[in-house]
């Protein structure tokens, strides 16, 4: 199952621009709030050092791309409509829009760091809106969405008749929450971390239910704060202020700058590798004076200051730090590191840290093969690996089956 990253934020914060910059899609973008109504989807790529470099091999990637020794691995992005305060009560079609996020594993909160949009995405004076308030209100909306889903369908009646059988309680919670991709493990962890594990839900008050919903949301759909529109000078000041109030990680970003860099690269006007801190202008005569100045600003005001536009950094941070994924390369031939067709290092799979070889075979390769699994072999060390081997980042593995 590929991971899905949902893009959230109030109207006009730059969600569709972030999607387009990440995926080179053509989702409609405009200054007007609620430009997006039905979700836009795209394929983006996380970037990692390819093992072809280390092994000095020429590879033939099949499920991913390799550019100058960087492996780009596909992930799914989902850009939804803007959310406004009280969305969980249905405001601004909030419930429908929230439900569009059901399949997301991680949420990127695209924040308008210029503070020039009110909570509904209408233009106000620069700096008039406090981005910190947006951080708070949006998180609250998502937490309350979880709470509503739990409370739906006679919650009070259910807990009143509750027979203290813990499994039954977990099953019921899971039934209510499976539609938004919450599993039992996450439910158990949330109960534990809120110290509600040993309590009788019969005795839960509103606060308990809220804390549980919030914790479960944090575990099952973590939110990452992206300070977008950092290309504007006021954005820099606001970012500083936001950091004083909010201690979690914030990634400075200019989705618009990234979009232009990728587009120009695609048109062969510049050379730019996503996530890098520089670009090279290949055809200066194809740009107007204004465009050259804009490119210069991207360099001096974004890349030189923040090291990149923030888009690739966000994707990598989401997958490798928040979703705790590592890279594993399955191969068939131990000497050439290739598949049955001679493709060298053909595929890279993203798997969760801690995954055991047997689960990897079942989930990522083939259920059928899993039934005939014998052992694995580390292609570099040629060491045999049992089914309980815990996969490590950048493992190159051959799976041996009896079939
Ligand atoms: N300066 C600047 N403007 C941006 C950036 N990203 C987006 N914008 C502008 O912000 C406006 C809104 O962008 P959209 O991508 O349509 O925003 P959205 O969040 O998808 O909006 P809705 O679909 O209406 O919720 C457009 O005018 C974009 O050009 C950025 O990084 N810098
Ligand atoms: Mg949009």
Ligand 1 pocket, residue 255 CB under 6 Å: yes
Residue 366's pLDDT band (cuts 50, 70, 90): confident
DSSP state of 364: I
Measure Cα distances from 397 to 305, 365, 368, 379, 380 in Å.
Answer: 40, 12, 18, 6, 8
Cα–ligand 2 centroid distance for 169 (angstroms) = 39
Q: Is the CB of 40 under 6 A from ligand 1?
A: no
Q: For 26-30, 110-114, 213-217, 367-371, which range has the lowest pLDDT when averaged over its residues?
A: 367-371
Going by C-alpha positions, the residue among 124, 310, 119, 126 that lies closest to residue 230 is 310
344 C-alpha vs ligand 1 centroid, how far in Å?
41
pLDDT digits (tens, 9 = 90+) for 163-212: 667 788 889 899 999 899 999 999 999 999 999 988 888 888 999 999 99
Cα–Cα dist 349/345, whole Å: 11
- Using the mean position of ligand 2's atoms as its centre, give its distance from the Cα of residue 253 in Å: 17
Centre of ligand 1 to C-alpha 167, Å, is 46
Whether 361 contacts 374, CB under 8 Å: no
Helix (H) or strand (E) holding 376: strand 373-378
Domains of the chain with bracketed CATH: 327-401 (3.10.20.30)
Encode burial over 256-277: b for 16+ CB neighbours within 10 A, e otherwise: bbbbbbbebbeeebbebbbbbe
CA angle 278, 283, 289 (to 5 degrees): 85
Query: What is the separation of C-alpha 225 from the centre of its chain, rounded to a whole number of angstroms?
Result: 11
Note whether 119 and 186 are within 8 A (CB).
no
**Residues paired with 106 in a beta bridge:** 5
Q: What's the CA-to-centroid distance between 255 and ligand 1, angstroms?
A: 8
Return the minimum-mean-pLDDT range out of 34-38, 106-110, 312-316, 389-393.
34-38
Q: Whose CA is nearest to atom 8 of ligand 1?
A: 14
Q: Is the pLDDT of residue 2 over 90?
A: no
pLDDT-based confidence at residue 90 (cuts at 50, 70, 90)? confident
Residues in the chain: 403
**pLDDT for res 236:** 95
Work out the number of other CB atoms within 10 angstroms of the CB of residue 9. Answer: 26
User: Nearest C-alpha to atom 3 of ligand 1 is from which residue?
Assistant: 229
Average pLDDT, the chain: 94
Cα–Cα distance measured from residue 95 to residue 400, given in angstroms and rounded to the nearest whole number: 48
By most ligand atoms within 8 Å of CB, the mutation choice from 17, 77, 228, 251 for ligand 1 is 17
Listed in order, strand segments (DSSP E) in 229-279 are 250-253, 270-271
Predicted pLDDT of residue 199:
86
Is 114 touching ligand 1 by the criterion CB < 6 Å?
Answer: no
What angle do the packed helices 233-245 and 131-151 form, to 10 degrees?
60
Top mean pLDDT of 43-52, 97-106, 367-376 is at 43-52
Residue 59: pLDDT over 80: yes
- CA 288 to centroid of ligand 2, rounded, Å: 28
Question: Is the model's pLDDT at 7 over the cut of 70?
Answer: yes
pLDDT tens digits, 206-264? 999 999 999 999 999 999 999 999 999 999 999 999 999 999 999 999 999 999 999 99
Work out which ligand 1 atom sits closest to the CA atom of 253. Answer: 31
Q: Is 25 in the pocket of ligand 1 (CB under 6 A)?
A: no
Q: Which of 7, 29, 233, 255 to mutate to test the pocket of ligand 1 (most atoms within 8 A of CB)?
A: 29
pLDDT tens digits, 138-154: 999 999 999 999 998 78
| Res 164: pLDDT | 61
Strand partners, 338: 333, 344
Nearest CA to ligand 1 atom 2: 229
What are the contacts of 28-36 at 24+ separation with CB within 8 A?
31/123, 33/82, 33/120, 33/121, 33/122, 34/81, 34/82, 34/92, 34/121, 35/11, 36/79, 36/80, 36/81, 36/82
- Do strands 395-401 and 373-378 pair parallel, antiparallel, or not at all (unpaired)? antiparallel
On the question of pLDDT at 1 being above 80, the answer is: no
Nearest CA to 222 out of 124, 85, 321 is that of 321
Query: What is the distance in A from the centroid of ligand 1 to the CA of 12?
Result: 5
In degrees, rounded to 5, the angle at the alpha carbon of residue 59 between the alpha carbons of residues 54 and 64 is 100
The closest of 228, 318, 258, 216 to 5, measured between CA atoms, is: 318
């Amino acid at each position: 199952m590929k991971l899905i990253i949902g893009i959230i934020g109030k109207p006009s914060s730059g969600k569709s621009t972030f999607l387009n910059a990440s995926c080179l899609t053509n989702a409609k973008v405009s200054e007007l709030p609620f430009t997006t109504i039905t979700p836009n989807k795209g394929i983006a790529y996380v970037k990692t050092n390819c093992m072809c470099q280390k092994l000095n091999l020429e590879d033939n990637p099949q499920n991913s791309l390799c550019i100058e020794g960087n492996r780009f691995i596909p992930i799914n992005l989902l850009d939804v409509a803007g959310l406004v305060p009280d969305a969980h009560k249905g405001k601004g079609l909030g419930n429908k829009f929230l439900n569009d996020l059901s399949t997301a594993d991680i949420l990127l909160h695209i924040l308008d760091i210029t503070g020039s949009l009110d909570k509904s995405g209408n233009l106000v004076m620069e700096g008039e809106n406090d981005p910190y308030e947006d951080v708070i209100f949006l998180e609250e909306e998502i937490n309350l969405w979880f709470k509503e889903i739990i409370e739906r369908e006679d919650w009070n009646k259910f807990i009143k008749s509750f027979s203290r059988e813990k499994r039954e309680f977990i099953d019921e919670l899971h039934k209510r929450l499976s539609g938004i991709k919450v599993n039992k493990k996450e439910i158990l962890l949330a109960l534990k971390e809120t110290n509600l594990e040993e309590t009788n839900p019969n005795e839960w008050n509103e606060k308990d239910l809220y804390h549980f919903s919030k914790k479960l949301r944090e575990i099952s759909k973590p939110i990452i704060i992206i300070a977008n529109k950092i290309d504007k000078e006021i954005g820099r000041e606001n970012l500083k202020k936001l950091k004083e109030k909010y201690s979690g990680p914030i990634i400075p970003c200019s989705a618009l700058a990234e979009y232009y860099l990728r587009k120009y690269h695609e048109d062969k006007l510049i050379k730019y590798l996503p996530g890098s801190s520089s670009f090279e202008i290949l055809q200066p005569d194809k740009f107007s004076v204004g465009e050259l100045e804009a490119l210069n600003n991207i360099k001096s005001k974004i890349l030189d200051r923040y090291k990149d536009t923030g888009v690739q950094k966000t994707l990598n941070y989401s997958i490798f730090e928040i979703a705790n994924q590592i890279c594993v390369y399955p191969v068939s031939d131990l000497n050439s590191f290739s598949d049955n067709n001679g493709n060298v290092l053909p595929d890279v799979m993203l798997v969760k840290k801690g995954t055991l070889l047997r689960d990897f075979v079942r989930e990522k390769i083939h259920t059928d093969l899993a039934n005939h699994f014998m052992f694995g072999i580390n292609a570099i060390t040629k060491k045999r690996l049992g089914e309980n081997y815990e996969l490590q980042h950048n493992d190159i593995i051959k799976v041996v089956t009896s079939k």
